[in-house]
Chain A
Amino acid sequence: AQSVTQPDIHITVSEGASLELRCNYSYGATPYLFWYVQSPGQGLQLLLKYFSGDTLVQGIKGFEAEFKRSQSSFNLRKPSVHWSDAAEYFCAVGASGGSYIPTFGRGTSLIVHP
């Protein structure tokens, strides 16, 4: 079965600073990988996804993520964080060889200081 780990429960950055949120997955074959964001009082919004092809994936709101098979990672990045990016971020992995139902990580809470 697939699993996903987000090692950072909280991340604090200053507005304008760069951001990297870590995600590591465990799955034997090629995974499908997702990043979702949850703003306070909102549902989960899909930021980006990786299925195949270019390992650097561009998403909405200026986010990108890079799939590194050798490291079993799919880290989310943004070059310059805005105060409105403060939210909960979830990484998810879906198994390409069986159930496609994504398994979610615990989430990372992003705090942005002015």
Chain B
Amino acid sequence: EPEVTQTPSHQVTQMGQEVILRCVPISNHLYFYWYRQILGQKVEFLVSFYNNEISEKSEIFDDQFSVERPDGSNFTLKIRSTKLEDSAMYFCASSESWPNYGYTFGSGTRLTVV
């Protein structure tokens, strides 16, 4: 069964550093998403991406965040200057068409900011 692949599975970074989280969505999917889950809290929507641009973003997705699809397969989330409160599990997801068909999620990247 096709999978969404996320790397790395765990990343530790120092406060103020930039991090890039990587995702390889399912090859025929057109819509891409990032979610995050702070330990013990809800899974929160960050951003959706379609046709090489952001289609929707939440209040969490401020200027320190950016997304990019640098080539035909990767989808990245960049956090420019990490803060302690950015520590969370970050999930990438993709969907084939209209988003309400249900996403396929990756297994997540656990980001720890120290």
Query: Which residues of A are in contact with B by a Cβ distance under 8 Å?
Result: 32, 34, 36, 41-46, 49, 51, 90, 92, 94, 96, 99-107
CB distance from A49 to the nearest CB of B (A): 5
Q: How large is the interface on B (under 10, 10 to 19, 20 to 34, 35 or more residues)?
A: 20 to 34
Q: Which residues of B contact A104 (CB under 8 A)?
A: 35, 42-45
9 A-B pairs, CB-CB below 8 angstroms?
A: A36-B105, A41-B107, A43-B104, A43-B108, A44-B93, A45-B105, A100-B98, A100-B99, A107-B43
Query: Which residues of B are in contact with A by a Cβ distance under 8 Å?
Result: 4, 6, 33, 35, 41-45, 48, 56, 91, 93, 98-108
| Cross-chain contact A46 with B107 (CB below 8 angstroms) | no
A102→B35 CA distance, assembly (Å):
11
| Cross-chain contact A101 with B48 (CB below 8 angstroms) | yes
| Cross-chain contact A51 with B100 (CB below 8 angstroms) | yes
B33, closest chain A residue (CB): A101
Q: Which residues of B contact A41 (CB under 8 A)?
A: 107
Q: In the complex, which of the residues A46, A51, A99 contacts B103, with contact meaning CB atoms closer than 8 Å?
A: A46
| Cross-chain contact A99 with B56 (CB below 8 angstroms) | yes
| Cross-chain contact A100 with B100 (CB below 8 angstroms) | yes
A94, closest chain B residue (CB): B100
A45→B6 CA distance, assembly (Å):
15
A113→B98 CA distance, assembly (Å):
40
| Cross-chain contact A106 with B42 (CB below 8 angstroms) | yes
A34→B104 CA distance, assembly (Å):
12
| Cross-chain contact A46 with B56 (CB below 8 angstroms) | no
Q: Which residues of A contact B4 (CB under 8 A)?
A: 43
